[in-house]
Amino acid sequence: MSHYESMSYQEQGLSPGGRLRQLLATGKTLVCPGVYDGFSARMALAAGFECLYMTGAGVSMSRIGMADLGLATQTEMVDTAGMIANIDPKTPLIADADTGYGTAANVFRTVERYITAGVAGFHLEDQVVTKRCGHLKGKECVTLSEYLTRIKAAVEARKRRGSDIVIIARTDSLATHGLGEALRRLKAAVEVGADAVFLEAISTKEQLEAYCSTFRGSRVVTLHNMVQGSPQAYKITPKEAEHYGLGIMLYPAVCLLPAYVGITSALRALKGGLVEDDPEGSTPAQIFQVCGMDEIQRTDNEVSDWVQKFEAENK
């Protein structure tokens, strides 16, 4: 019996972390599309995904218009995560927590705020506070002891809040210290209390196999980050991920890249004086439907009906 299966959760009223743990307990690879705002989250939910991933790079670019160089603040990340997590609370959200945004006290507060916001799980990394996207060059990592201090602070925050939020230990040290040190860091993070591990920027089959074999047969969930278009991301399919025993597959750019390509193309056409209807016949009404129009109108009608009945009964 796995760590997740051994934990008792009621079918009704599961916490966000409980719902994520329930999905992980199935043993199937959980495919998580990267979303970064309400619109991308709505589209992913409409497509039927069981779990969403909030990409920090996407939040940084969509919310503050800045590249992912550690500029998005804790508040901006928590606010966005809370909004996404509560569009459909039944669908768990895994969120990027970067470095925890400061000292151990900052990490503790970040985890508390993610728990309050309804986040189901998050990953915490070992880059320096002035971090950068994991698939960019020039990364720097903190010492192992400082990294474990962050993980320990997250574990203590979860414990004190009585939460079951899933803690994912990420290391970017593959690029800076090599595979051996990266695996050592992940194993140490698990000893401190992390539930899952995340080796960032796996670029070869050999690295992926060594990573998966290190944790195969244990209670630890392994995660692979599939950044489309990045040469630092070793490409595998979800079916291949199950073969490797990977528990989670993240696709952080699956919404971001098509949005960039499509919007850029439309703007260039407009700049050139040409605006055409979408070739697939998309309309504003369809977009409103994806973004909850029926539910909003149903609620409005139910309240209006109640008011009319109340007024009729109290004339």
Q: What is the CATH number of the domain that holds 21?
A: 3.20.20.60
| Sequential pLDDT tens for the chain (315 residues) | 233 333 333 445 799 999 999 999 999 999 999 999 999 999 999 999 999 999 999 999 999 999 988 899 999 999 999 999 999 999 999 999 999 999 999 999 999 999 999 999 999 999 998 787 767 677 899 999 999 999 999 999 999 999 999 999 999 999 999 999 999 999 999 999 999 999 999 999 999 999 999 999 999 999 999 988 777 789 999 999 999 999 999 999 999 999 999 999 989 988 998 876 666 778 878 888 888 888 888 988 989 899 888 889 998
Position 7 in a domain = no
Position 76 in a domain = yes
What Rg value do the Cα atoms of the chain yield, rounded? 21
Domain match, 245 and 99 both: yes
Residue 305 buriedness (CB in 10 A; 0-12 / 13-18 / 19+): exposed
Determine contact, residues 4/220, Cβ cutoff 8 Å.
Answer: no
Cα separations (Å) of 278 from 52, 195, 275, 281, 293?
27, 44, 9, 5, 21
In this prediction, residue 279 carries a pLDDT of 62
Position 196 in a domain = yes
Question: Which uninterrupted H or E stretch holds 168?
Answer: strand 166-171
CA torsion sign for 234, 195, 192, 97 is positive
Show the beta-strand stretches assigned E in 248-296: 248-251
pTM: 0.91
In this prediction, residue 294 carries a pLDDT of 87
In this prediction, residue 134 carries a pLDDT of 62
For tokens 């970017």, name the residue. 172
Overall number of domains in the chain: 2
Domain match, 139 and 55 both: yes
Domain match, 171 and 56 both: yes
Q: Which residues contact 257 (CB under 8 A, 6 or more apart)?
A: 228, 229
Domain match, 237 and 136 both: yes
Position 273 in a domain = no
Q: Which of 231, 261, 291 is the last residue of a domain?
A: 261
Domain match, 315 and 172 both: no
Domain match, 169 and 214 both: yes
Domain match, 289 and 252 both: no
Position 11 in a domain = no
Closest CA to 241 of 212, 206, 262, 217: 212
In this prediction, residue 5 carries a pLDDT of 36
Q: Residue 246: what are its φ and ψ, rounded to 5°?
A: -70, 135
Position 300 in a domain = yes
Domain match, 257 and 286 both: no
In this prediction, residue 138 carries a pLDDT of 73
Q: How far apart are CA 258 and CA 129, in angstroms?
A: 30
Position 6 in a domain = no
Determine contact, residues 46/57, Cβ cutoff 8 Å.
Answer: no
Domain match, 117 and 187 both: yes
Distance of CA 166 to the CA centre of its chain: 11
Domain match, 144 and 286 both: no
- Report the DSSP pairing between strands 30-35 and 248-251: parallel
DSSP calls for 207-261: HHHHHHHHHTTSSPEEEEE--TT-TTS----HHHHHHHT-SEEEETTTTHHHHHH
In this prediction, residue 136 carries a pLDDT of 67
As given in the structure block, the two tokens for residue 111 are 């985890």
Position 10 in a domain = no
Domain match, 28 and 141 both: yes
Domain match, 182 and 299 both: no
Q: Which domain holds residue 295?
A: 282-315
DSSP calls for 72-120: S-HHHHHHHHHHHHTTSTTS-EEEE-TT-SSSHHHHHHHHHHHHHHT--
